[in-house]
Homo-oligomer: A and B are copies of this chain.
């Protein structure tokens, strides 16, 4: 299997990047987290050799460009990053209680967009959908309380 075609295992080499411990650390942190992390949280979790904060910024920017991660601005106006398992179009669902996220495919949205196009006269080329709610675990807890 070609490196670049393996979701969840981004290949630095295939993307023309050098393989450094800092980059591997950042990717590992993103991979191990099931919720979006701030730049500083990512920085703190990099194992062993703590890299510099600027390095984290610089690499996150590249990873986002590669489609390996996505930046999400939450309601608290703080930028967080999540890994993207799939590189095609998708959205993130985030639990407002525990912060866990799930990736969802485009689902039936396309039809709604076609509908919108005819209503508004706009030709819609791209969209960003942020979904917030309660994950199954948290909504079960909430129901018990």
Contacts and interface: CB of A to CB of B under 8 A. Distances in A.
A124 B133 contact: yes
A96 to B, nearest CB: 7
A115 to B, nearest CB: 6
Interface string A102-143: 101001110111011101111111111111111110010000
B126 A132 contact: yes
B109 A95 contact: no
Given A107-B115, A112-B112, A102 B122 contact: yes
A14 interface: no
Interface of A: 73, 93, 95-96, 102, 104, 107-109, 111-113, 115-117, 119-136, 139
15 contacts: A73-B73, A93-B120, A104-B120, A107-B112, A107-B116, A108-B112, A109-B109, A112-B112, A113-B131, A121-B136, A122-B134, A123-B139, A125-B134, A128-B130, A128-B132
Given A107-B116, A122-B135, A128-B129, 17 more contacts: A73-B73, A93-B122, A93-B124, A104-B119, A104-B120, A107-B119, A109-B112, A112-B112, A121-B136, A122-B136, A123-B139, A124-B132, A125-B133, A125-B134, A127-B130, A127-B131, A129-B129
